[in-house]
Amino acid sequence: MSAVPPRPPTAMGLDAARRVDLDVREEVRSGQEPFSRIMAAVSALLPGQALVIRAPFEPVPLYRALGQRGFAHWTEQRAADDWSVWFYLRQLTIDVRELEPPEPMLRVFDALETLAPGQHLEVRHNRRPVFLYPQLEERGFTHETDEPEEGIVRIVIRRREETPG
Partner 1 sequence: MMRPSTILPLAYLATAAAFFAAAMASMPWLANELAGHYYHPRVLALTHVVTLGWITMSILGASYQLIPIVLERPLWSERLARVQLGVLLVGVVGMAAHFWLGTWPGLLAAGGLVALGVGMHLVNVTVSLRGLQRWTLTARLVVLGQAGLGLTAMFGLTLALNHALPVFSWARFPALHAHVHLALGWWIAPMLLGVSARVYPMFLVAPEPARTLGRVQFWGLAGGVPLLVVGLIAAPSLVVPGALALCAAAGSHVVGICSMVRGRKRPSLDWGLRFALTASGFLVLGVAAGLGLALDLVSGPRVALAYAVLLLGGWTSLSIVGMALKIAPFLVWYRVYGPLVGTRAVPGLAALGSPRAEAAAWALLTAGFLSLAGAAAAGNALWILVSAVSVALGVLAFAASLARVLAHLRAPAPPAESVRISIAKATGAKAHTPKVHTQ
Q: Which residues of this protein are in contact with partner 1, per CB under 8 A?
A: 1-2, 4-9, 12, 63, 67, 72-78, 98-102, 105-106, 109-110, 112-113, 115, 117-118, 126-128, 130-131, 133-135, 137-140, 159
161 contact partners, CB below 8 Å, separation of at least 6: 140
| CA separation, residue 124 to residues 92, 107, 148, 165 (Å) | 11, 11, 10, 24
Question: In this complex, which beta carbon is closest to partner 1, that of residue 8 or of residue 34?
Answer: 8
> In angstroms, what CA-CA distances link 128 with 29, 35, 50, 99, 152?
53, 43, 30, 14, 10
Residue 37 CB, nearest approach to partner 1 (Å): 22
Minimum gap (Å) between residue 106 Cβ and partner 1: 6
Min. distance of Cβ 66 from partner 1 in angstroms? 11
| Beta strand 141-149 pairing with 152-159 | antiparallel
CB nearer to partner 1: pick between 93 and 145? 145
